[in-house]
Structure 1
């Protein structure tokens, strides 16, 4: 499983919008890996931001 899949899975399991810092703590990934995964997921429209600095999987 790559970082992008892991980040998306954590977001789905959280059940609420999460920040990159929360994903970092829950996943054990390095912050740079989390930021890179967020950037790729945003580009693919796989995640959306319902509020500032919080993200959740797109529906």
Structure 2
């Protein structure tokens, strides 16, 4: 499973929007990997940001 899949999975399994820090703890990935995955997932329309610095799966 790559970083993007791990981030998406963590967001899908969460009941509330997550911050980058929460995703890092959940996946064990470092900040740069999580931020890159978030950027890619947002551009693909798979996740959204309901408020600044919080992310959730669509």
Q: If the TM-score is normalised by the length of the shorter chain, which range does it land in?
A: over 0.9
Write the distance in 2 (CA, Å) between the matches of 1:36 and 1:57: 16
TM-score by length of 2: 0.93
Q: Tell me, which stretches of 5 or more residues in structure 1 are unaligned?
A: none
TM-score by length of 1: 0.92
CA RMSD of aligned residues (A): 0.7
How many pairs does the alignment contain?
Answer: 58
Q: Which runs of 4+ in 1 moved over 3 A?
A: none
Q: Tell me, which stretches of 5 or more residues in structure 2 are unaligned?
A: none
